[in-house]
């Protein structure tokens, strides 16, 4: 009870003191708010960009890599593993079936022709993949379902489409069983997805297209789409005889392979299998290097630097700026407090304890912090509004969320309390007697 | 002005002194790196590009039947030529800064190309007849492609054009054959080889990385016949007076839709396309500018606040000095010199910190070394800022009257 009353008293004293120096107080709050606004804005973007695209599943998803490049002509001069896989290797891994689930995929831009009379053709982002794609990545269906492994083998002309494409083509109705024309071939719709777009699009890295933003519109069976001559957006060749038409036999990498491995023992078993596979390929003369890699989803995103450097630099810059603002606040609070050493001396002489003086000054710092945090939140909203109006792929996703909102206040309060420590300590060190004598 | 009394007084106020020096040092360190990054971005945004950027508009046409390209492309070109205001038209595979890149690595001798790590990656541009003129490529040496070159070239199954002639940029010529003329030289890959018939001024690649790199200009051009193009001549470029670009582009898009009902078009004025490419970079640069300005303002206000406090605290001292004969100028000078010393210490510490941050960034990001001249420039800026910020409080100090000052305490 007493504690509480004292706290109220400190608050009252602090408010009086802050009111006395309006300009100085405004400057402190403004500087702190600017620092916090900049930090929260950039942190929100960084968190958005480096977030987990599939939180419930990412720990079980793995990306295998092998190296079919000739020894004398490596994939990269810095020794990186090839990003993608050749068709032969991808199919070998898929058919081996050593993981709980496995899928291979490529991205493509495809022409979609509406069936209505007045509809104009347009291009849509698409994924060519295999049956396990949907259950592995927890893609949610609005209508219908994905295709089966048998559909993969029979080169079925079926497609799963995204909700937004279903709205555009069929007015949002259940379109399962309807036909759509893709790259001048007829495909039967067998499923419609609910809105789904993992950020970043981990499965599309190095396959061409965007890493953030809207998801793809069309998903087709890899073999079925290839039978129609639909080609991938990204292809890299490593030997003589590279061919655009016979991609399946060409010495080219153009597929990403993903595995679902439920636990650590499955991961280590797969590592052994992959190493074994590479050794075999060396023995067969297909590979010259037996090195392999198996990365978890989040590891893969980190390895490939999916977060733009600029986002990191901006965050670093914002923290530097916040530090300057905190130093600035320390200086100004200190200036204020030293100016009042007479007042402190009087209070001390009248019986205020050191801890009381300390509490009073910390209360003052805390008020500056809360005010700075509130104003900082306004600046952060302003900053994010600015970012939403920028051309970046992720722009439309930049919103302040509740944890960030709370974080703002924690940062503000922590910053101001740290800033208040030094002045408060100096204030409570003021001795009572000499101050009275000086007058 | 004596410096020793100032130092003695600063020693008495250690904490505020340290705070000001620290704030100036941090500002200096962040400022140096931010300005440096702004500079890097501005020079990337301004990279020269030897095509007629301000006269070009472009319409992409995809989704048409590749088998009839041999008759479709000449028909489309003829229709576009008929649009009033069009000075030249051509079909091409891609454009500089369009993000649509086709890269391949080449070496300077046939066997090297397989086993030499030092092959060089080029961006491949396929030109339909007339596209060289429409783009406004500038020939430095040799010749452009002739009718025979165009007629003899096509795509087979390989991801490389079936032809033996090429135009390369000046940067490629310098890299592949330094100090020699590139004309008549041949470059190789495992299955194909190409002989240089002309060297052109530097044209940017569809994708560039970093700035100031010669590799941004490793663009190579090949002739391509309409019938052999296999859907790769998808972009029509139109040259017109800058004022006509918008109208010409719309008319061209309309024409192409009418002639190719199955196709999908996408049009742009070239200078907008270039702006679009650098939009991210531009907004980053503006963000950095904003941070710098706000940071300088915060630092300046910090100096004003601390110095005002200082002046307030030393009214007595000042009054005594005034009473024993110090002029207003002396008092002003005192605070200005004091600030000069503080800024100086801050700048020295800040420059060291700036280089430290720069070294860290060089290790983790694509950033080059901070040029030496950032040191004197940032020193001058922060000294100037300090003097400006201290002016107000110093004037107030100078206005302390001698009598009042000694009486009040």
10-residue mean pLDDT series, chain B (409 residues): 75 80 90 89 90 95 90 95 95 94 88 62 94 95 95 90 95 93 91 94 89 84 94 94 95 94 93 92 87 88 81 80 85 88 91 90 82 84 89 86 57
Dig out the tokens for A164 from the structure. 């937004």
Q: How far is residue B282's CA from residue A419's CA, in Å, rounded to a whole number?
A: 35
Q: Which of A37-41, A160-164, A253-257, A339-343 shows the lowest per-residue confidence on average (mean pLDDT)?
A: A339-343
How many A×B Cβ pairs under 8 Å? Answer: 139
pLDDT score of A439 = 44
B191 to A241: CB separation less than 8 angstroms, yes or no: yes
Q: How far is residue B409's CA from residue A251's CA, in Å, rounded to a whole number?
A: 89
Nearest to B214 by CA among B247, B186, B174, B245: B174
Parallel, antiparallel, or unpaired for β A122-129 and A101-113? Answer: antiparallel
Q: Considering all CA atoms of chain B, what is the largest pairwise distance in Å, rounded to the nearest integer? A: 102
pLDDT score of B210 = 62
Contacts of A324 in chain B (CB under 8 A): 23, 26-27, 30, 295, 298-299
Q: Compute how many other C-beta atoms are within 10 angstroms of the C-beta atom of residue B244.
A: 19
B19 to A246: CB separation less than 8 angstroms, yes or no: no
Per-residue pLDDT tens digits for B320-333:
888 888 888 888 88
Cβ atoms of A398 and A315 closer than 8 Å: no
CA dihedral A162, A166, A168, A173 (to 10 degrees): -150
Compute the mean pLDDT over every residue in chain A, rounded to the nearest whole number: 87
pLDDT band at A68 (very low <50, low <70, confident <90, very high): very high
Note which residues in 247-306 of chain A have CB less than 8 A from chain B. Answer: none
What is the distance, to the nearest Å, from the Cα of residue B101 to the centroid of all Cα atoms in its chain? Answer: 20
pLDDT average, residue stretch A313-334 = 85
Nearest Cβ partner of B284 from A35, A310, A332?
A310
| Mutation for testing the B interface, residue in A22, A328, A375 having most B CBs under 10 Å | A328
Nearest to A57 by CA among A297, A270, A304, A257: A297
Asked if pLDDT for residue A67 goes beyond 70, the answer is yes
Residue A179, beta-bridge partner list: A188
Per-residue pLDDT tens digits for A113-154:
887 666 789 999 999 999 999 999 999 999 999 999 999 999
Residue by residue, DSSP assigns B173-191 as HHHHSTTS--TT-EEE-SS
> What contacts B280, CB < 8 A, 6 or more positions away?
A310, A390, A391, A392
Min Cα–Cα distance to chain B from A121, Å: 6
Q: How far is residue A31's CA from residue A322's CA, in Å, rounded to a whole number?
A: 9
Angular region, A371: left φ>0, alpha ψ -120 to 50, beta rest: alpha
pLDDT score of B162 = 94
Nearest Cβ partner of A240 from B16, B157, B190?
B190
pLDDT score of B407 = 52
Q: How far is residue B186's CA from residue B197's CA, in Å, rounded to a whole number?
A: 10
Dig out the tokens for A142 from the structure. 């609005």
Min Cα–Cα distance to chain A from B143, Å: 31
> What contacts B349, CB < 8 A, 6 or more positions away?
B21, B22, B24, B25, B28
B27 to A237: CB separation less than 8 angstroms, yes or no: no
Contacts of A338 in chain B (CB under 8 A): 16, 309, 313
Nearest to B130 by CA among B223, B206, B258: B223
Asked if pLDDT for residue A437 goes beyond 60, the answer is no
Asked whether the CA dihedral A251, A252, A255, A258 is positive or negative, the reply is positive
The residue to which tokens 């994905």 are assigned: A146
Cβ atoms of A295 and A272 closer than 8 Å: no
pLDDT average, residue stretch A240-248 = 85
Parallel, antiparallel, or unpaired for β B103-106 and B120-127? Answer: antiparallel
| Mutation for testing the A interface, residue in B309, B312, B365 having most A CBs under 10 Å | B309
| Mutation for testing the B interface, residue in A208, A217, A320, A329 having most B CBs under 10 Å | A320
B280 to A392: CB separation less than 8 angstroms, yes or no: yes
Question: What residue of A is the nearest CA neighbor of B210?
Answer: A309
A149 close contact with B: CB closer than 8 A? no
A434 close contact with B: CB closer than 8 A? no
Nearest Cβ partner of B287 from A27, A113, A314?
A314
Q: How far is residue B383's CA from residue B343's CA, in Å, rounded to a whole number?
A: 6
Q: How far is residue B374's CA from residue B380's CA, in Å, rounded to a whole number?
A: 10
Nearest to B227 by CA among B34, B67, B114, B400: B67
pLDDT average, residue stretch A313-321 = 86
pLDDT score of B405 = 47
Per-residue pLDDT tens digits for A180-205:
999 989 999 999 999 999 989 999 99
Per-residue pLDDT tens digits for B212-259:
678 899 999 999 999 999 989 999 999 999 999 999 999 999 999 999
A285 preceded by a cis bond (ω within 30 of 0): no
**Percent of chain A at pLDDT above 90?**
48
B15 to A77: CB separation less than 8 angstroms, yes or no: no
Question: What residue of B is the nearest CA neighbor of A251?
Answer: B158
Quote ipTM for the complex.
Answer: 0.81
Contacts of B229 in chain A (CB under 8 A): none
pLDDT band at A1 (very low <50, low <70, confident <90, very high): very low
What is the distance, to the nearest Å, from the Cα of residue A286 to the centroid of all Cα atoms in its chain? Answer: 37
B117 to A73: CB separation less than 8 angstroms, yes or no: yes
Report phi then psi at B349, rounded to 5. -65, -40
Note which residues in 37-66 of chain A have CB less than 8 A from chain B. Answer: 38
| Mutation for testing the A interface, residue in B63, B94, B215 having most A CBs under 10 Å | B63
The secondary structure of chain B in percent helix, strand, coil, rounded to multiples of 5, reads: 55, 15, 30
Note which residues in 313-342 of chain A have CB less than 8 A from chain B. Answer: 313-314, 317-318, 320-321, 323-325, 327-328, 330-332, 334-336, 338-339
A338 to B361: CB separation less than 8 angstroms, yes or no: no
pLDDT score of B176 = 93
Dig out the tokens for B176 from the structure. 């592949």
Dig out the tokens for B81 from the structure. 């030529």
Contacts of A339 in chain B (CB under 8 A): 309, 312-313
Nearest Cβ partner of B298 from A72, A324, A330?
A324
Report helix, strand or coil for B223. Answer: strand
B280 to A390: CB separation less than 8 angstroms, yes or no: yes
- Cα B371 to Cα A40, A161, B223, B287, B351: the distances in Å are 31, 53, 43, 22, 12
The secondary structure of chain A in percent helix, strand, coil, rounded to multiples of 5, reads: 50, 15, 35
Nearest to A128 by CA among A154, A95, A159, A97: A159
The residue to which tokens 């002045």 are assigned: A423
């Amino acid at each position: 009870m007493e504690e509480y009353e004292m706290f109220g008293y400190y608050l009252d004293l602090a408010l009086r003191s802050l009111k006395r120096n309006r300009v100085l107080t405004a400057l402190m709050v403004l500087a702190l708010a600017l620092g916090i606004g900049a930090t929260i804005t950039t942190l929100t973007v960084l968190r958005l960009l480096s977030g987990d695209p599939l939180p419930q599943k990412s720990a079980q998803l793995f990306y295998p890599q092998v190296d079919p490049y000739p020894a004398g002509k490596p994939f990269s001069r810095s020794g990186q593993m090839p990003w993608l896989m050749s068709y032969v290797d991808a199919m070998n891994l898929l058919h081996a079936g050593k993981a709980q689930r496995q899928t291979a995929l490529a991205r493509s831009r495809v022409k979609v022709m509406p069936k209505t009379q007045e509809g104009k053709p347009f291009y849509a982002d698409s994924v060519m993949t295999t049956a396990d794609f949907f259950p592995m990545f927890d893609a949610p269906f609005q209508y219908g379902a994905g295709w089966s492994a048998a559909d993969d083998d029979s080169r079925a002309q079926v497609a799963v489409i995204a909700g937004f494409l279903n709205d555009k083509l069929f007015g949002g109705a259940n379109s399962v069983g309807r036909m759509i024309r893709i790259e001048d071939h007829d495909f039967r719709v067998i499923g419609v997805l609910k809105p789904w777009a993992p950020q970043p699009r981990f499965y599309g890295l190095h396959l061409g297209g965007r890493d953030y933003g809207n998801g793809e519109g069309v998903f087709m069976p890899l073999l079925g789409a290839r039978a129609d001559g639909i080609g991938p957006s990204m292809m890299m060749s490593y030997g003589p005889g590279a061919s655009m038409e016979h991609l399946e036999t060409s010495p080219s990498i153009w597929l990403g392979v993903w595995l679902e491995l439920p636990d650590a023992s499955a991961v280590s078993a797969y590592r052994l299998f992959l190493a074994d596979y590479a050794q075999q390929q060396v023995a067969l003369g297909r590979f010259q290097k037996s090195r392999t890699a198996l990365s978890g989803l989040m590891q893969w995103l980190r390895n490939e630097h999916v977060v733009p450097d600029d986002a990191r630099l901006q965050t670093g810059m914002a923290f530097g700026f916040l530090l300057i603002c905190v130093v600035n606040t320390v200086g100004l609070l200190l200036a204020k407090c030293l100016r009042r050493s007479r007042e402190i001396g009087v209070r001390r002489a009248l019986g205020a304890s050191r801890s009381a003086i300390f509490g009073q000054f910390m209360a003052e710092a805390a008020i500056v912090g809360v005010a700075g945090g509130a104003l900082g939140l306004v600046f952060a909203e302003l900053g994010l509004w600015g970012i939403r109006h920028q051309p970046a792929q992720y722009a439309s996703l930049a919103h302040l969320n509740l944890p960030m909102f709370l974080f703002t206040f924690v940062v503000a309060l922590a910053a101001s309390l740290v800033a208040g420590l030094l002045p408060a300590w100096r204030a409570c060190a003021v001795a009572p007697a000499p101050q009275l004598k000086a007058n | 002005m004596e410096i020793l009394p100032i130092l003695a007084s600063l020693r008495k106020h250690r904490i505020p002194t340290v705070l000001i020096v620290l704030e100036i040092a941090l500002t200096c360190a962040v400022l140096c790196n931010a300005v440096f990054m702004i500079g890097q971005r501005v020079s990337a945004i301004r990279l020269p590009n030897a095509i007629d950027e301000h006269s070009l508009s472009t319409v992409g046409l995809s989704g048409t039947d590749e088998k009839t390209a041999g008759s479709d492309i000449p028909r489309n070109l003829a229709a576009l030529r008929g649009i009033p205001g069009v000075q030249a038209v051509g079909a091409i595979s891609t454009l500089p800064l369009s993000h649509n890149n086709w890269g391949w690595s080449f070496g300077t001798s046939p066997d090297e190309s397989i086993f030499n790590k030092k092959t060089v990656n080029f961006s491949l541009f396929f030109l339909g007849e007339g596209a060289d003129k429409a783009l406004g490529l500038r020939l430095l040496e040799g010749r452009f492609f002739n009718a025979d070159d165009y007629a003899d070239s096509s795509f087979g199954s390989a991801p490389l054009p079936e032809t033996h002639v090429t135009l390369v940029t000046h940067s490629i010529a310098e890299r592949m054959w330094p100090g020699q003329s590139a004309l008549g030289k041949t470059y190789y890959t495992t299955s194909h080889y190409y002989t240089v018939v002309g060297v052109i001024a530097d044209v940017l690649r569809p994708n560039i990385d970093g700035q100031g790199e010669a590799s941004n200009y490793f663009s190579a051009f090949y002739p391509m016949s309409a019938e052999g193009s296999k859907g790769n001549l998808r972009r029509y470029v139109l040259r017109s007076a800058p004022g006509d670009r918008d109208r010409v582009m719309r008319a061209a898009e309309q024409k192409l839709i009418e002639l190719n009902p199955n196709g999908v078009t996408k049009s742009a004025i070239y200078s907008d396309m270039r702006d679009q490419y650098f939009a991210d970079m531009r907004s980053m640069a503006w963000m950095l500018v904003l941070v710098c300005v706000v940071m300088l303002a915060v630092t300046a206000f910090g100096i004003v606040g601390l110095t005002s406090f200082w002046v307030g605290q030393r009214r007595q001292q000042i009054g005594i000095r005034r009473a024993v004969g110090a002029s207003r100028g002396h008092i002003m000078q005192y605070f200005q010199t004091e600030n000069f010393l503080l800024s100086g210490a801050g700048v020295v510490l800040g420059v060291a910190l700036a280089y430290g941050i720069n070294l860290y960034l060089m290790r983790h990001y694509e950033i080059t070394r901070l040029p030496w001249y950032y040191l004197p420039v940032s020193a001058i800026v922060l000294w100037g800022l300090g003097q400006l910020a201290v002016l107000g409080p110093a004037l107030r100090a100078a206005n302390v009257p001698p009598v009042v000052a000694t009486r009040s305490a």
